[in-house]
């Protein structure tokens, strides 16, 4: 019966309508985590926007909705991309180096970066397919992935699906990582900590406030530091990237300030990757970051005391490599996302004996895989769960 006949529309029907409006195919709807009622609205406490959402509306990320005073996540089980990457692509250089990571995304984001390279899933409606959490974990196990990475779009916006999947993965001995913009609340970090073992936090423009506001529609990037401090407190492995955006966010002074904060608050062994910007989506009027800019940022961060500073998105550059901070001996040579040489012995430099701070699980101090091309670089097209991932029995 129609609403005009006096029949009340059920919450389920309202949710289905919200999904149709977005063109999403995911069907596993679940009550959201970390929210509270405030009068006739609900307050979302997942990201630091802390949206206050009226009835029938959704927050900034467009992935959760207030229906009759209950807050629902709309993208649980809906997959936009599923593939297998080297862990170095995230990037993680000090966390299970040389291994494969099953990478999964949905849709939506807590930012509006004008340069987003994944704008087709972070900012626009996307035809998703349904894959339940247990199946994702089984696929990771069958394909010998050491981790599952929640990536490509911001994992905070599919927090419920990510954590349900992480729980299934841990049952199979598979660890979990977030590739995040860091704009999650300390409460969200604490909630995720039992299930997410590592996070790589993608800073842009060295955390310059004006840059975040003008180019990314983020009002207060300083709160990212609160999330980082909570990750540190809870023992989550942290790596950081800093995307240096030509003209808009490429200040060496800002890069040095960021490095100083990392040194003083997260420690000198925290890996920091200065990555090269390439024009994309709405920001195409500037060139790719000059390599010299990245090199200058690298020098500035090393001067602040950080021991492991890298350059990213410049394949073949010597600052992709890991060098011993004690004697400068080459420890790990890389080309892009592949390890091409490994000299660490027993977890330490073979020349001076200084220990290399990284996490691995095989007990030998050797990388667990050596860039197996049969596993890396797979992605799932719009057509289905293909790309040589094994089907469930």
106-152, pLDDT tens digit by residue?
Answer: 999 999 999 998 888 887 666 788 899 999 999 999 999 999 999 99
Task: Using alpha carbons, list the distances in angstroms from residue 363 to 296, 347, 367, 368.
Answer: 37, 9, 10, 10
- Distance between CA 290 and CA 276 in Å, rounded? 8
pLDDT score for 317: 98
Q: Within 13 Å, how many C-alpha atoms sit on residue 354's CB side? A: 14
The position carrying tokens 């021991």 is: 307
Name the one residue in this structure whose structure tokens are 């080297």: 86
The closest alpha carbon to 234, from 286, 275, 178, 272, belongs to 178
Taking the C-alpha atoms of residue 288 and residue 361, their distance in angstroms, rounded to an integer, is 37
* Helix (DSSP H) and strand (DSSP E) numbers for the chain: 9, 19
The residue length of the chain stands at 393
> What is the pLDDT, as a whole number, of residue 278?
95
**Cα(94)–Cα(121) distance, rounded to whole angstroms?**
28
Residues in the chain predicted with pLDDT less than 50, given as ranges, are 1-7, 25-26, 369-393
Rounded Cα distance between 316 and 321, Å, is 9
Which residue has 């961060």 as its token pair?
A: 301
Report the candidate in 74, 266, 249 with the shortest Cα–Cα distance to residue 158: 74
Domains of the chain with CATH codes: 10-73 (no CATH), 78-314 (3.20.20.70)
Give pTM, 2 decimals: 0.90
Dihedral sign for Cα 382, 163, 124, 241, please. Answer: negative
Q: At what angle do helices 223-233 and 252-265 cross, to 10 degrees?
A: 30
240, 200 Cβ separation under 8 angstroms: yes
**CA-CA distance, 238 to 221, in Å (whole number)?**
18
Residue 244 · residue 255 · CB < 8 Å: yes
* pLDDT for 122: 85
What's residue 118's pLDDT?
85
Which stretch of DSSP H or E encloses residue 277?
Answer: none
Rg of the chain taking only CA atoms, in angstroms: 21
Sign (positive or negative) of CA dihedral 33, 36, 41, 46: negative
Q: What is the pLDDT of residue 128?
A: 82
Q: Chain-wide mean pLDDT for the chain?
A: 88
Q: If 0-12 CB within 10 Å is exposed, 13-18 middle and 19+ buried, where does residue 130 land?
A: middle
Cβ pair 158, 108 in contact under 8 A: yes
The torsion region of residue 374 among left (phi > 0), alpha (psi -120 to 50) and beta comes to alpha
pLDDT at 362: 58
Dihedral sign for Cα atoms in the order 9, 11, 17, 21: positive
């Amino acid at each position: 019966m129609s609403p005009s006949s006096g029949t009340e529309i059920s919450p389920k029907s309202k949710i289905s309508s919200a999904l149709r409006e977005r063109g999403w195919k995911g069907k596993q709807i679940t009550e959201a985590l970390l929210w509270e009622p405030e009068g006739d609205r609900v307050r979302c406490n997942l990201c630091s926007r802390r949206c206050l959402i009226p009835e029938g509306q959704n927050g900034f990320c467009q992935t959760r909705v207030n229906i009759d005073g209950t807050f629902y996540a709309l993208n649980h089980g809906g997959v936009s991309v599923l593939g297998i990457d080297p862990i170095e692509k995230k990037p993680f250089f000090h966390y299970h180096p040389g291994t494969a990571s099953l990478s999964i995304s949905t849709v939506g984001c807590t930012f509006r970066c004008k340069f987003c390279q994944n704008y087709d899933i972070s900012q626009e409606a996307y035809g998703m397919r349904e894959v339940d959490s247990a199946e994702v974990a089984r696929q990771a196990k069958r394909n010998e992935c050491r981790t599952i990475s929640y990536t490509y779009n911001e994992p905070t916006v599919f927090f419920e699906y990510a954590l349900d999947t992480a729980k299934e993965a841990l049952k199979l001995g598979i660890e979990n990582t977030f590739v995040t913009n860091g704009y999650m609340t300390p409460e969200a970090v604490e909630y995720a900590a039992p299930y997410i073992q590592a996070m790589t936090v993608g800073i842009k423009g060295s955390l310059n406030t004006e840059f975040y506001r003008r180019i990314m529609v983020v009002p207060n990037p300083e709160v990212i530091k609160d999330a980082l401090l909570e990750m540190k407190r809870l023992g989550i492995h942290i790596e950081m990237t800093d995307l240096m955006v030509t003209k808009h966010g490429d200040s060496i002074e800002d890069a040095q300030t960021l490095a100083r904060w990392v040194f003083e608050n997260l420690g000198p062994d925290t890996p920091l990757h200065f990555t090269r910007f390439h024009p994309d989506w709405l920001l195409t009027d500037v060139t790719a970051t000059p390599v010299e800019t990245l090199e200058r940022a690298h020098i500035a961060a090393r001067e602040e005391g950080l021991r492991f500073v890298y350059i990213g998105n410049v394949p073949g550059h010597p600052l992709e490599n890991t060098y011993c901070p004690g004697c400068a001996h080459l420890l790990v040579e890389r080309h892009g996302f592949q390890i091409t040489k490994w000299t660490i012995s027993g977890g330490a430099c073979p020349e001076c004996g200084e220990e290399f701070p990284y996490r691995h699980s095989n007990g030998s101090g050797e990388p667990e895989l050596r860039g197996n091309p049969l596993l890396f670089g797979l992605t799932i097209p719009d057509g289905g769960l293909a790309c040589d991932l094994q089907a469930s029995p």
